[in-house]
Amino acid sequence: MSELSQSRLLYLAEAAQPDPDRVTACLQDELEPVRLLAVVVLGRLGPPGVPGLVQALSKTQPVPVRAVAASSLAAIGPDAAPATAELCRCLTAEEDNLRDAASVALSKIGAPAVPTLQRMLQFSNPLTVDAARSALNAIGPPDASVLPNLERDMAHPDPATRKSALKKTAELRQSAHPAIPRIIGLTRDPDPEVRADACLTLGRIQAPLEQCRPALTQALADPVPGVRLNAVIALSPHGKTCGAQLETCLADPDPGVAAAAKGALELAH
């Protein structure tokens, strides 16, 4: 590790009142863990950290850095409106985790993001359109009448159909709670992408912790990093209650999972 990287790590870890500009400069460090920690610190700063988090969404950054930045912006909510354009660009990404995190952040921004999201519906990529529509549905009133059909699709033999059903179920938010047992079952699906989406869906619909905690705890030991990351994201709002589970992820071999767990634990204190 270079002396510069080491000094940046020490600053990010020890600064009681970090300077937003100095933290943002850490996004240019050669080491991804330093960049990830910088994003976590920017998220803790709240609205003053938004300009730096916008930079962290850039395509020049690794996908884990961009995804954690989007999750941090989601926690900031409407004050993250200046990040709308860059978050919408993330909806065109190939990576599911990044699109999903950006979609959630845009939904938390709310009404200010609607005009840009509506333009995203004209894109040719169906994955981008689905992500934009998901954010718009989360901002507006959900239609829970489709839930029985979505539960049927969750049992479809095609993994792509199960994934699509999970994404659409997540848009229903708390109206999707009757489907929680089915979603929990998919956290053990043979397809890793389905397992990851199931964990994220439990978080997005705010499934009661007493129902989903065993499944999400099991997912923290999944061999696939994307599943573990989404389990951490789903458990993040329960950091005070699930501190022991999240602490085990601090030593995760995947830096994105470890950084997400660190951020969740810091936000809980």
Report DSSP state, residue 77.
Answer: G
Residue 88 half-sphere exposure toward CB, CA atoms < 13 A? 22
Domain C-terminal end among 105, 140, 175 = 140
Q: Are residues 2 and 134 in the same domain?
A: yes
> Can you read off the two tokens belonging to residue 187?
């956290």
Q: Are residues 11 and 133 in the same domain?
A: yes
Report DSSP state, residue 101.
Answer: H
Residue 141 has pLDDT above 70, yes or no: no
What confidence tier does 269 reach under pLDDT thresholds 50, 70, 90? low
Residue 267 has pLDDT above 90, yes or no: no
End-to-end CA distance of the chain: 30
Domain assignment present for 263: no
Domain C-terminal end among 140, 169, 195 = 140
Give the total number of structural domains in the chain.
2
Determine how many CB atoms are found less than 10 A away from the CB of residue 112: 14
Domain assignment present for 266: no
**112-126 residue pLDDT tens:** 998 999 899 899 999
Residues 6+ apart with CB under 8 A from 46: 76, 79
Domain of 87, in residue numbers? 1-140
More confident residue, 13 or 65: 65
- By residue count, the chain amounts to 269
H helical segments located in 79-224: 84-90, 96-109, 114-120, 126-139, 147-154, 159-170, 180-186, 192-204, 209-219
**201-210 residue pLDDT tens:** 999 999 999 9
Task: Please give the mean pLDDT across all residues of the chain.
Answer: 91
- Report the alpha-carbon distance of residue 246 to residue 232 in Å, rounded: 7
The C-alpha angle 253, 53, 43, rounded to 5 degrees, equals 70
Residue 1 has pLDDT above 80, yes or no: no
Domain C-terminal end among 113, 140, 167 = 140
What confidence tier does 12 reach under pLDDT thresholds 50, 70, 90? confident
**162-207 residue pLDDT tens:** 999 998 898 888 889 999 999 999 999 999 999 999 999 999 999 9
Residues 6+ apart with CB under 8 A from 214: none
**79-100 residue pLDDT tens:** 999 999 999 999 999 999 999 9
